[in-house]
Amino acid sequence: MFRMTVQDVFAIKGRGTVATGRVEYGQLSVGDQVRINDGPPVQVDAIEAFRKKLDTAATGDNIGILFRKLTKGDVAAGDVLTSGGVYLA
């Protein structure tokens, strides 16, 4: 299970869209799929923290998640990214 609320979104020309935030719980790895507000799954293409590429992020990490197939309009601040099951508030 993974959950992160998006704090900011920006586009990197030639790379894709990055959603930033703090991992609220769980673990995320490059290649995993996440859902934005319980929408269709989207693949995680890269994870970075403080300009360093990571293979995995865990609870408490402040990260940026790169999505090559999304545009800046596909994800917004306040959106919730989840994976690995259903989150019940």
Question: In the prediction, which pLDDT does 51 show?
Answer: 87
Q: In 1-89, at which residue ranges do the beta strands (DSSP E only) sit?
A: 2-12, 16-29, 33-36, 41-43, 46-49, 52-54, 56-58, 62-67, 80-83
**pLDDT interval class at 74 (50, 70, 90):** very high
Q: Which of 1, 22, 15, 13 is nearest to 67 (CA)?
A: 15
Task: Evaluate if residue 7 carries a pLDDT over 70.
Answer: yes
**pLDDT interval class at 85 (50, 70, 90):** low
